[in-house]
Amino acid sequence: MNWDNSILSKITFDHISNIEEKQKVANKISEKVKDGDVIGFGSGTTSYLTAIAIAKKVQKEKIKITAIPTSYEIKILCSNLEIPTASLLEKKPDWSFDGADEVDNNNWLIKGRGAAMFKEKMNIANSPITYILIDKSKKVDKLCKNYKIPVEVYPEALNYVKSELLKIGASDITIRKAINKDGPIITENGNIILDIKFANITNNTEKQIKSLVGVIESGLFIGYNVEIVE
Ligand code: 5RP
């Protein structure tokens, strides 16, 4: 028996910035899809447009793929688009795609505006290559120009993590508040997000943040196998 799942199709973005540029890279990446591919699907508006472009190609060419989604938002979208999904327990991605909030000249990234960076980083770490799909607004000379680094923290560890972050050079630490809910954003993993700034990000900063007890993951991506597509 099938569900009347019309409510699921209501999960879309109200507004997509720089939509023409995002649609162009979405279409470009959809051309890479081959029959049988296991593909890591990122989150955010660029990934949303890319998932739709891929679904069109899959339907047109009658090929089969499996998606490994990085959030409920994208998992539900895959269900609407009739793209089968799996987790990293069952499948390893042949390749992945995702968006980014900032990209510097070393291809270091800040991600996690959508609070999905934990699973996004797992897909990227598990993929031989990840295409990071950006529009021009994402390129920066120095990270933390327009976005802070999100840090997902186990709730009881908030005070400890905040004090340790200050010791390693973080500043301007805020708790990410929810919209349409009182209090903080709760991630899909039941945690809270601190947004932080760093004046000087080195190739050790991601490891320093991750080493703090109570930190689940950060949105700083240094030295991953990524190719920037714009
Ligand atoms: C979500 C992300 C997104 O990939 C990032 O925020 C870019 O989003 P968009 O494609 O909407 O600009 O990291 O956690």
Query: Domain extents for the chain?
Result: 18-139, 149-219
102 Cβ below 6 A of ligand 1: no
Sequential DSSP letters for 123-174: HHHHSS-EEEE--GGGB-SSTTSS-PEEEEE-GGGHHHHHHHHHHTTEEEEE
Please state the CATH superfamily assignment of the domain spanning residues 149-219 in this structure.
Answer: ACT domain (3.30.70.260)
Calculate how far, in angstroms, residue 13's C-alpha sits from the geometric centre of ligand 1. Answer: 12
pLDDT in tens, 116-167: 999 999 999 999 999 999 999 999 999 999 999 999 999 999 999 999 999 9
Cβ contacts of residue 89 below 8 Å, gap of 6+?
none
Which active-site residues does the annotation give?
Answer: 120
Considering only CA atoms, which residue is closest to atom 10 of ligand 1? 46
139 forms beta bridges with 103
Q: CATH class for domain 18-139?
A: alpha beta
CA–CA gap between residue 111 and residue 222 (Å, rounded): 11
- pTM, two decimals, is 0.96
pLDDT of amino acid 11: 75
pLDDT tens-place string over residues 48-67: 999 999 999 999 999 999 99
Percent of the chain with pLDDT over 70: 100
Take atom 6 of ligand 1 and give the residue whose Cα is closest: 113
Q: Are 106 and 178 in contact (CB under 8 A)?
A: no
